[in-house]
Chain A
Amino acid sequence: MTAHANELAVDVRGLRKRYGDVTAVDGIDLGIRRGEVFGLLGPNGAGKSTTVEILQGNRARDGGEVSVLGSDPARGTRAWRSRVGIVWQDDSAPAELTVRETVRHFARYYPRPRDPDEVIGLVGLDAKADARIKALSGGQRRRLDVALGVIGDPELLLLDEPTTGFDPAARRRFWDLIRKLSGEGTTILLTTHYLEEAEALADRLAVVAEGRVVAEGEPAGLREHYGTGATVGWTEPDGTARSERTDTPTRTVAALMHRFDGEIPGLTVGRPTLEDVYLRLTGQEDAR
Chain B
Amino acid sequence: MSVQLRSQINEASGRAPARSATVPVKIAAENVNVYYGPKHALKAINLMIGEKQVTALIGPSGCGKSTFLRCLNRMNDTIGICRVEGLITLDRENIYDKSIDVVQLRARVGMVFQKPNPFPKSIFDNIVYGPRIHGLATTRDELDEIVQISLERAGLWSEVKDRLREPGTGLSGGQQQRLCIARAIAVSPEVILMDEPCSALDPIATAHIEELIDELRENYTIVIVTHNMQQAARVSQRTAFFHLGEMVEIGDTEEIFTNPRDERTQGYITGRYG
Chains A and B come from one and the same complex: no
* Residues of chain B having any CB pair with chain A under 8 Å: none
Q: Which residues of A contact B (CB under 8 A)?
A: none
